[in-house]
A and B are shown apart, each in its own frame.
Chain A
Amino acid sequence: MGYDSIVCVKQVPDTANVTGEAMKADGTVNRGALPAVFNPDDLHALEAALQIRDGFGGSVTVLTMGPVGAAEVLRECLYRGADRAILVNDRRAAASDTLATSYILSRAIHKIDRFDLVFCGRQAIDGDTAQVGPQIAEKLGIAQVTYFEKLVDLTDRTIRVRRNVGNGWEVLEARLPLLLTVLDSANEPRPAAAKRVMRFKRARCPGEIGNQVASAMPTASAAEKEAEQARRAELLKSGGLLIEQWNLDDVKADLQWCGMSGSPTKVHRVQSIVLTKEGFTPVEPNEKAVRQMIHELIKDHTLG
């Protein structure tokens, strides 16, 4: 018994703390200058899945797509209690818009095969689109409930959930499988567990092992490096510390629907925010100046 959950998580640039260096002179974003963080809403998605596993049994698998460095958010999930972690990494997935991304993630979910629930955060702070969750649900041919806030009931594969739509809430009932996008008000994410940090801080995906080997044996031949990488991966695997890494072939993705060619939307132009007002009328902080300003606002019918 129990329920198997898949949680889609994302490593994002920390857009909440953008500093001057984050924007290049040409108005594009200097991703290198922004620290990479765990997308905040996704921590709540993970927590929702962990609570269902802890309450009903089952498993939690975390899935992300991104560069090799994105394995860091998977380790964060392992520290918090995830059972299995998978990175989808492929250069051919670069420049994917939400549609291509959801297609690739849905292919990976097909490969995982057994699942009852898929969880996503409400949205990611780099794009704020909130589109990938519903699009994954459509690709999987399952129903979706967005803005999940509370589990009301879960009995015999029938789930009741409360969703918060801002100006109210509703309770929906659905049969599993189901995809949920989770609000930050749904729960308080648990912190990393010290014991699990001790254990999983050495967890690595093959791409990371490859990087380690390359810097440890700079003069070795390609074949030697490959052998060493395989040896280290095998060692981690036997200790349950290998983060799985899949490419687009592994998930049997049709390349036509991935990356640039799979993305109907194209970025035409990007501008950094320019302040539109040419300059303002300075008003001294004294009664006379303030009265003058109010007078002007009455005169131009802004007030009154």
Chain B
Amino acid sequence: MIEPNRKGEVWIYAEQEDEHLSDTSVEMCSKARELADGLGVAVGAVLVGWNVRELSYRLIAHGVEHVYYVNDTRLEYYRTLPYARVLCQLIAKYKPQIVLYGATPLGRDLAPRIASEMRAGLTADCTDLRLGAYTDPRTKITHENLLLQIRPAFGGNIIATIVNPDRWPQMATVREGVLRMDDGDPRRSGRIIEEKIEFNDFEQAVRLIERHRVKRKVNLKGARIIVAGGGGVGSKDNFRLIHELAGVLGGAVGASRAAVDSGFVGKEHQVGQTGTTVRPALYVACGISGAVQHRAGMEESAKIIAINWDKDAPIFGVSHYGIVGDLNKVIPMMIKAIRERG
């Protein structure tokens, strides 16, 4: 761990694979910018890989001032131990006060390893980050301007705010898709600082033998409109209505866990805590009761229409328009109304 360092920068780990920055990394830039402005410090990003210097400019456009770039053939593909060595060494050297990682499979593999070695705190899967004061109930000492790490817990039934008052850096992984990605400004300037890291044999011991990546066929995160079906849709056959409405609206097809578990549609369509978190301009929830796990993944949508038989379904609690009725009748009415609008 490092001592609290009020002059320390706000860092993000800039996750890249195959020379592409993850969306979450770019989303985190804006949040890091906001936090750093609140603290009066600079934003730093750690970029690790082989021949990925170009990615620095996108980070800088999104508000990063210092890109700590580690360029090494041995770092071309992610492996836990050498990447953890890079981060631990740079954290010890520069003493940032905050380090954020995407709560991606990679980030959730890497960040705990670093937290353990640094003996620092780590909060998983945050959905929001703010600055605020915290008074220790035992010592009565108030710590100003701590990172408030906000996350759902207990299967999404509660929202907990976690702080790390004295064993810094304050570290968190951030859920994909919950932060807003800004447009970036190419006129911003920043510095690229190259760093060299040495590895020992143990850190090199795990070998990557084979690697396979698939392109995501369903792009829920990028969709402006999502039409999602739940268990209430009733059957795989009925689920065609969901596809049809999505088609008419030019949107993507989403689903609740109940619909996925019932085999109506593939898991890649799942929205919610264990699926994808989305915030489209319009979310149409059809036959979805609205379990907390599902709501956690969609309630930030700009507009929500809920269609459900059960007037007491919790989904109505987060909706802007609520239709209590049979989706088999309501969806065709919607399709008709949309087609006729011209």
Contacts and interface: CB of A to CB of B under 8 A. Distances in A.
Whether chains A and B associate is yes
B306 A280 contact: yes
A27 interface: yes
Contacts of A297: 282, 303
A297 B305 CA distance: 10
B323 A290 contact: yes
Name the residue among A139, A165, A286, A304 with the largest chain B CB count within 10 angstroms.
A165
A171 B112 contact: no
Interface residues of B, number: 89
A283 B320 contact: no
B321 A280 contact: yes
B134 A270 contact: no
Nearest to B136: A266
Given A170-B210, A264-B166, A266-B164, A99 B109 contact: no
Contact of A275 (B1, B163, B281, B314): B314
B108 interface: yes
B196 interface: no
A270 B333 contact: no
A138 B113 contact: yes
Given A134-B112, A168-B212, A302-B303, A18 B157 contact: yes
Nearest to B124: A129
Interface stretch (B28-36, B63-71, B115-123): B115-123
Interface string B148-176: 11001111111111111111000000000
Binding site secondary structure of chain A: mixed
A304 B141 CA distance: 54
Interface stretch (A2-10, A68-76, A120-128, A209-217): A120-128
Contacts of B215: 167
B74 to A, nearest CB: 15
A235 interface: no
A131 B209 contact: no
Interface string A256-289: 0100000111111111110111001111111101
A128 B126 CA distance: 11
A265 B164 contact: yes
Contacts of B121: 97, 99, 263-265
A209 to B, nearest CB: 32
A172 B205 CA distance: 10
A128 B322 contact: no
A29 interface: yes
B247 interface: no
A64 interface: no
A130 B206 contact: no
A36 interface: no
B105 A281 contact: no
A190 interface: no
A61 interface: no
Interface in B116-144: 116-117, 119-125, 134, 136
Contact of B159 (A125, A146, A271): A271
Interface residues of A, number: 79
Contacts of B325: 284-285
A228 to B, nearest CB: 39
Given A135-B112, A268-B148, A273-B292, A174 B302 contact: no
Contact of B208 (A13, A170, A265, A295): A170
Interface in B93-123: 105-106, 108-109, 111-113, 115-117, 119-123
Nearest to B305: A293
Interface string B308-337: 000000101111111111100110011011
A256 B125 CA distance: 27
A29 B336 contact: no
B249 interface: yes
A130 to B, nearest CB: 5
A281 B165 CA distance: 44
Nearest to A18: B157
A220 interface: no
A187 interface: no
Nearest to A97: B121
A166 interface: yes
A265 B163 contact: yes
A173 B314 contact: no
Contacts of A134: 80, 109, 112-113, 116
Nearest to B216: A167
A27 B122 CA distance: 24
B334 A99 contact: no
9 contacts: A128-B124, A160-B209, A168-B213, A265-B164, A282-B322, A285-B333, A295-B341, A297-B303, A302-B282
Given A138-B117, A144-B113, A282-B324, 6 more contacts: A98-B124, A125-B155, A133-B112, A168-B212, A267-B160, A273-B158
Interface of B: 1, 79-81, 84, 105-106, 108-109, 111-113, 115-117, 119-125, 134, 136, 148-149, 152-167, 202, 205-216, 225, 249, 273, 281-282, 292, 295, 299, 302-306, 314, 316-326, 329-330, 333-334, 336-338, 340-341
